[in-house]
Amino acid sequence: MSIRIAPSLLSADFARLADEIAEIENAGAEMLHLDIMDGSFVPNLTFGPPVVRSIASSSEIALDAHLMVTHPDTLIADLTAAPVSRIAVHIEVCHHLQRTLGNIRSAGIEAGIAINPASALSLIEDALPWADFILVMSVNPGFGGQAFIPETLGKIRRLRKLAGQEALDIAVDGGVCLENVAALAQAGATTLIAGSAVFGQHDRAAAIAELRRAASVGGEK
Ligand code: DX5
Ligand code: ZN
């Protein structure tokens, strides 16, 4: 599977959203990662469906919604209508995961499970048949610019093994940077989500190209 780069809007300049998004779209990023936070599941607030709708109507890039909210089910209809291309819900708050993933898929978009650094993979093992992708958190969610938690590499390796022959997309989110993308790709990650490593850089196109180049070295091993 080839590597996809999904810049996280969290590190962009929110006063210039359209320009910021156009820049990474023109630079060939495959997806735009949208961090939706409610101030309850995580100690931070970002934006919700109205902003996502505006982004969807003013750009062509595929939207990857990461719901860091206590009640993800309440947002699914509005986000699929925006539309976004996929939605990840956190295993830590989803009590009826099979139903939630089914609701996302029945809207015709991809369903993903996000999992925090200290949550066991065994929590999601039985749900893999209903998921199109897994979002492995490599920081505790809530903020951009945090340091990558190195134990994530082993978790991605174990998840890739669990997926077996399935072409499961494994996305990694948090602290992704030039120094760790080769190891992440080698461990089995296929989507690299990067906030500060893209929007925190002056030349976003160069940052995306560099990440892709560095990751391809790991992917070839
Ligand atoms: C953290 C978010 C991430 C964040 C990543 O809660 O889920 O998507 O934007 O930012 P960096 O790449 O700076 O760690
Ligand atoms: Zn995220």
Q: How far apart are CA 208 and CA 203, in angstroms?
A: 9
> Which band of pLDDT confidence, cut at 50, 70 and 90, is reported for residue 35?
very high
Question: Does 89 contact ligand 1 (Cβ within 6 A)?
Answer: no
Residue 194 token pair: 């990067």
Q: How far apart are CA 118 and CA 92, in angstroms?
A: 10
Average model confidence (pLDDT) across the chain: 97
Mark whether 38 is an active-site residue. no
Question: Does 11 contact ligand 1 (Cβ within 6 A)?
Answer: yes
Q: Which atom of ligand 1 is nearest to the CA of 44?
A: 6
Question: Does 219 contact ligand 1 (Cβ within 6 A)?
Answer: no
Does residue 22 surpass a pLDDT of 90? yes
Q: Which atom of ligand 1 is nearest to the CA of 195?
A: 12
Average pLDDT of 129-138? 98
pLDDT at 4: 98
Question: Does 152 contact ligand 1 (Cβ within 6 A)?
Answer: no
Give me ligand 1 centre to Cα 51, in Å: 18
> Which band of pLDDT confidence, cut at 50, 70 and 90, is reported for residue 218?
confident
Helices (H), 96-170: 97-106, 122-125, 152-163
Does residue 220 surpass a pLDDT of 70? no
Q: Other C-beta atoms within 10 Å of 106: how many?
A: 11
The sign of the CA dihedral 56, 205, 29, 183 is negative
Does residue 93 surpass a pLDDT of 60? yes
Contacts of 196 (CB under 8 A, 6+ apart): 11, 144, 145, 177
Average pLDDT of 179-196? 98
Residue 60 token pair: 């062509």
Buried b or exposed e, range 143-177, using 16+ CB within 10 angstroms: bbeeebbeebbebbeebbeebeeeebbbbbbbbbb
Exposure on the CB side of residue 184, measured as CA atoms within 13 A: 34
pLDDT, tens digit, 9 for 90 and up, residues 38-78? 999 999 999 999 999 999 999 999 999 999 999 999 999 99
> Which band of pLDDT confidence, cut at 50, 70 and 90, is reported for residue 212?
very high
CB 170 within 8 A of CB 159: yes
Ligand nearest to the CA of 195: 1
Q: How far apart are CA 200 and CA 137, in angstroms?
A: 19
Average pLDDT of 27-38? 98
- Residues in a beta bridge with 110: 86
- 13, 35, 132, 169: which is the annotated catalytic residue? 35
Average pLDDT of 202-214? 98
pTM of the predicted protein model: 0.97
pLDDT at 124: 97
- Residues in a beta bridge with 90: 114
Q: How far apart are CA 50 and CA 60, in angstroms?
A: 17
- Residues in a beta bridge with 115: 136
